[in-house]
A and B are shown apart, each in its own frame.
Chain A
Amino acid sequence: MVIDDDPSILITVAEILRFEGYEVATATNGADGLRILEQIQPTLLLLDMRMPVLDGWGFTQTLRERGITLPVLIMTAAQDARRWAEEVNAAGYVAKPFQLLDLIEAVEQFQEPPQSE
Chain B
Amino acid sequence: MSAETLLQYLNWLVFLVIFASTLLQAIRRPLPANIDIALLFGVPALVILIGLLSLIGSSPMPAWLNAVSGSLILSISYLLLRLVDDFATVPVALLASAPVLLVALCVPLFVVAPPLPGWLTALQIAYFVLLQLYAGIAFVRAARQVTGVTRRRLRAAATGSVLLGVDIIVLGLTRLGSGWMIVSGLAGLGTGISYFVGFAPPALLRRAWQEPELRAFLGRAALLPRLPTTQAIIEEVELGAATALGAHHASVGLLDAGTQQLHFVIEGDLRQYPVKDDYPAGQAFVRQKPVFSPDTPRDYPQYAAVSRASQSTALLIAPITAGKKRLGVLTVSSPRMVIFAEDDLALVQLLADQAAVVLESRALIDEAARVHAREEATRLKDDFLSAAAHDLKTPLTTLVAQAQLMERRALRRPDAPADINGLQRLVKEALRLRSLVLDLLDASRVEQGQLVGRREEADLTAVVREACSRHDSARHTCTVEAVGPVIGMYDPQRIGQLIENLIENAVKYSPDGGNICIHVWEEATDARLTVSDQGIGIPPADLPTLFERFHRGSNVDDRRFAGMGLGLFICRGIVEQHGGRIWTTSELGQGTTFHIALPRTTG
A residues in contact (CB < 8 Å) with B: 5-6, 8-9, 11-13, 15-16, 19, 50-52, 77-79, 96-101, 103
Contacts and interface: CB of A to CB of B under 8 A. Distances in A.
B557 A8 contact: no
Contacts, number: 70
Given A12-B405, A50-B558, A100-B400, 6 more contacts: A8-B398, A8-B425, A12-B402, A12-B425, A15-B422, A103-B401
Contacts of B422: 12, 15
Interface in B374-427: 386, 389-390, 393-402, 404-405, 408-409, 421-422, 425
Q: Which of A6, A51, A97 has the most CB of B within 10 A?
A: A97
B559 interface: yes
B558 A52 contact: yes
A77 B405 contact: no
Contacts of B421: 11
Contact of A9 (B397, B405, B560): B397
Contact of B400 (A6, A11, A15, A97): A97
Given A77-B397, A79-B386, A100-B401, A5 B559 contact: yes
A98 B397 CA distance: 6
B398 A9 contact: yes
Contacts of A51: 559
B428 interface: yes
A89 B498 CA distance: 46
Interface residues of B, number: 26
Contacts of A16: 401, 405
A100 B405 contact: yes
Contact of B393 (A8, A15, A97, A103): A97
Contacts of A96: 393-394, 396-397
A52 B559 contact: yes
Contacts of B386: 79
Contacts of A8: 395, 398, 402, 425, 428-429
A59 to B, nearest CB: 15
Contacts of B395: 8
B489 to A, nearest CB: 43
B409 A19 contact: yes
Contact of A97 (B396, B405, B558, B559): B396
A52 B557 CA distance: 7
Contact of B405 (A15, A50, A52, A79): A15
B425 A98 contact: no
Contact of A6 (B405, B557, B559): B559
Nearest to A20: B408
A102 B393 CA distance: 15
B425 A6 contact: no
Contacts of A5: 559
